[in-house]
Amino acid sequence: MRDHPRRGVRSRAAALAACTLTTLLVAMGTTPAYAAADDTERPTAPGPITVVAVDTTWVELTWAASTDNVGVVRYPVSARFEDNGLTWSTDTNSIRVTGLRPSRTYTFYVTAVDAAGNTSPSTAPLRLTMPPGDDQPPGAPGQPVASDVTATGVRLRWAPSVENGAVERYEVFRVDAGGALTLVRDVSQYPPNNSAQISGLTPNTTYTFVVRARDEVGLLSPLSAPTTVTTLPPPPSCTVRSVVGQWSDGFVAGLTITNTGTTAVNGWTMTWRFWASQQVHGIWGAKVVDRLNNSYLRVGDTARNAMIPAGGSVSLGLVASGTQLPEEVTLNGGLCVVADE
């Protein structure tokens, strides 16, 4: 049976309408699902990024539009500052980016994405330093507080500086003879951190440290109040002898530490392996200081037994849960040799 002439006219009209609709949608930047599914061609890279306007916390950017065989639907915009990344998106070839920080240097990139999800190559990067928005230096950091003093190092911590903008870094100085300053640590504030581990010091030596803040514009704070630290003597050589009584989930241990060095130990801490799940139920001849990395127990002298002369000994003991007995015993950082019975 032949098609009716009018039926053929209606079929051609419907096809023409569908073609017209597709052309219209593509021109509008809206791609039909069937067209997007068949599209594997990437858009071209957008043109170079141009700065239209900029202030201390925002920038307006534009670029030459990408071309695509079907149509670009959006432009992802990204910026990097040091190791931090930010992203935005726009359906036009310009954008106003807000929430930036004065004096920071950002690197911007733009790509194009079509309806099928094909992504273009990136533009050439645009490196932009924001205008300064800060003319006030930071306040002085708090006086450093020393902890974890060893023969060759110390940890310093200080109260943060007060700043109307943002502190970029802290500078830790050693105060030398005559007041000269030697930079020993540079502490970046990405992420924020108001402490520093100082290493490479000389045993049994007194040091003075100060801290200064530097903001993103480069303005410097006054120096903090100084702090003075005396490092410990070199780790003594020592031996350890232990007497242990053990049951299914606990033990009692007596430790005798002998100073086998040629100089006296004046003030001491000891550590030994101790699991995080273990608990100290009793201790004598020492006091608990802390738990190091949840793997070691650190104890210190009781003031009455702080002095261990050369060839002298100190005894202590504890009752604890668990099955990990005292091992890897150190005296002021020096590993003690297990004494023969």
Radius of gyration of the chain (CA): 35
More confident residue, 31 or 217: 217
* C-beta atoms surrounding 244 within 10 Å: 12
79 contacts: CB under 8 Å, gap ≥ 6: 85, 86, 87, 97, 100, 106, 107, 108, 109
15 three-class SS: helix
Contact 182, 173 (CB under 8 A): yes
Q: What pLDDT was estimated at residue 191?
A: 87
Q: What pLDDT was estimated at residue 32?
A: 53
Q: What pLDDT was estimated at residue 5?
A: 47
Q: What pLDDT was estimated at residue 328?
A: 94
Question: How far apart (Å, rounded) are the C-alpha atoms in residues 79 and 91?
Answer: 18
As given in the structure block, the two tokens for residue 238 are: 């020592």
pLDDT tens, position by position, 226-277: 999 999 888 889 999 999 999 999 999 999 999 999 889 999 999 999 999 9
pLDDT tens, position by position, 268-301: 999 999 999 999 999 999 999 999 888 999 999 9
Q: How confident is the model at residue 338 (pLDDT cuts 50, 70, 90)?
A: very high
pLDDT tens, position by position, 171-214: 999 999 999 999 999 999 888 899 999 999 999 899 999 999 99
Q: What pLDDT was estimated at residue 93?
A: 95
Q: What pLDDT was estimated at residue 320?
A: 97
Sign of the CA dihedral running 187, 193, 199, 202? positive
pLDDT tens, position by position, 77-100: 999 988 788 999 999 999 999 988
Amino acid present at 288: V
Question: How far apart (Å, rounded) are the C-alpha atoms in residues 285 and 178?
Answer: 44
Is residue 150 exposed (0-12), middle (13-18) or buried (19+ Cβ within 10 Å)?
Answer: middle
pLDDT at 339 over 90: no
As given in the structure block, the two tokens for residue 101 are: 């920080």
Tell me, rounded to whole angstroms, the distance of Cα 274 from its chain centroid: 28
Burial of 38-70, coded b for 16+ CB within 10 Å and e otherwise, reads ebeebbebbeebeeeebeeeebebbbebbebeb
Tell me what the mean pLDDT of segment 55-65 comes to: 94
Q: How confident is the model at residue 333 (pLDDT cuts 50, 70, 90)?
A: confident
Tell me what the mean pLDDT of segment 308-334 comes to: 94
Q: What pLDDT was estimated at residue 15?
A: 44
Q: What pLDDT was estimated at residue 17?
A: 44
CA distance readout (Å), 110 to 2, 119, 120, 190: 57, 11, 9, 25
pLDDT at 21 over 70: no
As given in the structure block, the two tokens for residue 230 are: 């005396």
- Kindly tell me the number of DSSP H helices and DSSP E strands found in the chain: 2, 27
Give the domains, in start order, of the chain with CATH numbers: 50-129 (2.60.40.10), 145-230 (2.60.40.10), 238-338 (2.60.40.290)
Q: What pLDDT was estimated at residue 273?
A: 94
Q: What pLDDT was estimated at residue 23?
A: 42
